[in-house]
Amino acid sequence: MSEGFVDSDSRAWLAIDSAGNPQVAYRDRSSGELIHAKKAAGQWTLEHIPTHLTPLRTANSIGAVHFSLRPSNDVAHFVYTDLATDGIGFAHNGSLGPTPVPVHVASSDLVTFGHPSAAFDSSENFDVGYVKFFETGGPQNDISVLGTTMVGVQPVTFSQPVVVDDSPNLAVNRPTSIVKTDFRECLAYFDVASKTLKASVSEAGLGSIETVATNIKNVVTPSAAANGNAFRIAFADFDAVKLASRDRFGTWTLEVVDPVFGGPPSLAYDSGGTANIAYVTRGSLKYARRSE
């Protein structure tokens, strides 16, 4: 479709529209632009999405990007790291008013944001998760995981961000992954300092930080999904591509999908409850599926 783009911090994101066609969003590695690719009638078309948040900037240049389709009308929603402001930006390809708009832009040179993810629930509420970095001048920055919700359209606005996790010595340097169901939300992220995959799980306004997996030897980029109201997280450690599953009591269990060293997997469930996992290993793209 275009030049190379995939790395551990800026994967391609896939969504299936209401007509059953694939749509993909990615950061073009050579130009730094946000590309939205759509397939229809067997043909791919590419659209360059404007992303610059500052008036004096005329070219796109983004970091990590995350992509979701609004279920009712297939409007593409993008959240991304804006490299000019070190903030989080939002863009769309519909009639929601001006695009792009800031989600959270730093008010200090000591603060930067990154690693965004976003998801719709069945009521089409749109939530965003991301990471805040505060430069302390010491060997360890203060790092926290934040969340916000779209609260207005035409123009798009977002709520005051809330702190999801600001534990001492927290270190997150890979994209987050958020998923929502009718009643719950799960925001997954990897704490490099403790080598722990964590998930902030909230229900009815109450939330807790849960340990998904410990003693992880790889730097993990998680991919969260839901099967009904049950959360799942796929990730790749040095010894295997793995799937973590949460039961209704909040207990996570791990299983091996493939005992190989693989790249960051992408996890999705279809309407029949079948898990679909795609990942790269040893230069090959692999795909696994299983009904639950």
Q: Tell me: do 58 and 136 sit in the same domain.
A: yes
**CB-CB neighbours of 38 under 10 Å:** 18
Q: Is the pLDDT of residue 257 over 50?
A: yes
Q: State pTM to two decimals.
A: 0.85
**Do 161 and 128 sit in the same domain of this protein?**
yes
pLDDT surpassing 70 at residue 62: yes
Domain shared by 162 and 243, yes or no: no
Is 50 a domain residue?
A: yes
- CA angle in degrees (0–180, nearest 5) for 266-231-114: 55
| For residue 8, pLDDT beyond 70 | no
Laid out side by side, the sheet with 223-227 consists of 223-227, 230-236, 241-246, 252-258
Banded pLDDT at 281 (limits 50, 70, 90): confident
Q: d(Cα 248, Cα 270) in Å, to the nearest integer? A: 20
Residue 196 clears pLDDT 70, i.e. is over it: yes
Ordered alpha helix ranges (H), the chain: none
Tell me the β-bridge partners of 235: 242
36 lies in the same domain as 104: yes
Question: What is the total count of domains within the chain?
Answer: 2
Task: List the domain range (segments joined by +) for residue 202.
Answer: 186-206+217-292
195 shares its domain with 276:
yes
Burial class (CB within 10 angstroms; exposed 0-12, middle 13-18, buried 19+) of 15: middle
* 212 in a structural domain: no
Average pLDDT over residues 216-232: 91
pLDDT digits (tens, 9 = 90+) for 151-178: 988 889 999 999 999 998 899 988 899 9
Quote the tokens at residue 94. 């519909």
| Same-domain status, 201 and 282 | yes
180 is written with which tokens? 């929502």
What is the pLDDT at residue 291? 84
pLDDT number for residue 244: 97
As a whole number, mean pLDDT of residues 4-28 equals 72
Based on the fold, state whether residues 170 and 231 are members of the same structural domain. Answer: no
Instruction: Lowest mean pLDDT of 47-51, 117-121, 205-209, name the range.
Output: 205-209
Residue pair 108/122 in contact by the 8 Å Cβ criterion = no
The residue with greater pLDDT, 144 or 13, is 144
Please tell me the least confidently modeled range out of 7-21, 171-185, 205-219.
7-21
Q: Band the pLDDT of 57: cuts 50, 70, 90.
A: low
Residue 58's pLDDT band (boundaries 50, 70, 90)? low
CA distance 146 to 79: 14
Question: Which tokens hold the place of 78?
Answer: 């993008």
Does some domain include residue 180?
no
Instruction: State how far the Cα of 237 lies from the Cα of 216, in Å rounded to an integer.
Output: 6
Residue 5 has pLDDT above 60, yes or no: no
Residue 24: pLDDT above 80?
A: yes
Q: Is residue 56 part of a domain?
A: yes
| Residues 79, 66 contacting (CB under 8 angstroms) | yes
Residue 194 pLDDT greater than 90, yes or no:
yes
7 & 85 share domain: yes
CA torsion angle 48 53 56 57 (round to 10)? -40
Q: 3-state DSSP call for residue 165?
A: strand
- Is the pLDDT at 147 greater than 90? The verdict is yes
Partners of 243 in the β-ladder: 234, 255
* pLDDT score, position 70: 92
Q: Are residues 245 and 139 in the same domain?
A: no
- Residues 125-138 have a mean pLDDT of 90
Other beta carbons less than 10 A from residue 136's beta carbon: 10
Asked whether residue 43 is domain-assigned, the answer is yes
Q: Is the pLDDT of residue 283 over 90?
A: no
The token pair that represents 44 in the structure block: 């791919």
Beta carbons of 5 and 27 less than 8 angstroms apart: yes
Is residue 273 assigned to a domain? yes
Q: Which helix (H) or strand (E) holds 114?
A: strand 111-120
Residue 273 and residue 253 share a domain: yes
Q: pLDDT-based confidence at 2, cuts 50/70/90?
A: very low
